[in-house]
């Protein structure tokens, strides 16, 4: 085996599953295999351009392949179907909480979902994730902060009996500075910390 073949095989073994998971999180399983295959075909053709670590570069390539081959509406539909398949049949409390996170995540704009997925599911640092989306680390941190805030708001809006939602819309805070339904607040905080 040549040095290039060995390097490519090691990179493939190390990164393939994470690239696949990233594509699934954005577009669903139906297109994941095709996009991952194309991503690694590009990596093989441009092996001399692949930096170390390779994962941010590979995710950037996968992102471009997705953008070039899949319409935004098709990606949203496939993701919604994927999220439904993840949540079918699960009844445990922890899974129910995760279902709430997934529903809130699915309600966010595509750009917010991507940013949260890169950090929470892919485990990238803001600097590496910024390379994937093509912006500065500072700009990415700002976008991440806003995406986390919108995720938390989406989760709070989904909580039954929340009075806060309507009051926030009018710039009002509930009396005492605390939302109604105190028992649900720690759960929202804990779940949002998974995305921090």
98 and 193 both lie in a single domain: yes
Residue 80 falls inside a structural domain: no
67 and 95 both lie in a single domain: no
- What domain range is 105 assigned to? 89-196
DSSP conformation class of 180: S
Task: Identify the pLDDT of residue 2.
Answer: 82
Question: What are the CA-CA distances from residue 46 to residues 11, 60, 71, 152 (Å)?
Answer: 13, 14, 26, 40
Mean pLDDT of the chain: 75
CA distance 159 to 166: 13
pTM beyond 0.85, yes or no:
no
28 and 102 both lie in a single domain: no
66 and 95 both lie in a single domain: no
39 and 128 both lie in a single domain: no
Q: Which residue ranges of the chain lie beneath pLDDT 50?
A: 90-91, 162-196
96 and 186 both lie in a single domain: yes
Tell me if 105 sits within 8 A of 152, measured CB to CB: no
Residues in the chain: 196
66 and 112 both lie in a single domain: no
């Amino acid at each position: 085996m040549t040095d290039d073949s060995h390097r490519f095989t090691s990179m493939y073994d190390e990164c393939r599953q994470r690239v696949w998971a990233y594509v699934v999180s954005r577009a669903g399983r139906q297109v994941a295999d095709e996009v991952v295959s194309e991503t690694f075909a590009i990596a093989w053709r441009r092996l001399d351009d692949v930096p170390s670590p390779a994962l941010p570069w590979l995710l950037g390539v996968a992102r471009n392949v997705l953008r070039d081959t899949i319409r935004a509406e098709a990606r949203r539909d496939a993701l919604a179907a994927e999220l439904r398949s993840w949540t079918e049949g699960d009844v445990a409390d922890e899974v129910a909480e995760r279902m709430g996170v997934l529903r809130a995540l699915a309600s966010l704009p595509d750009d917010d979902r991507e940013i949260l997925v890169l950090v929470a599911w892919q485990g990238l640092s803001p600097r590496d994730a910024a390379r994937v989306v093509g912006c500065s680390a500072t700009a990415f941190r700002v976008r991440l902060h806003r995406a986390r805030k919108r995720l938390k708001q989406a989760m709070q809006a989904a909580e039954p009996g929340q009075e806060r939602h309507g009051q926030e819309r009018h710039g009002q805070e509930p009396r005492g500075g605390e939302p109604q339904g105190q028992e649900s607040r720690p759960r929202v905080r804990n779940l949002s910390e998974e995305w921090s």
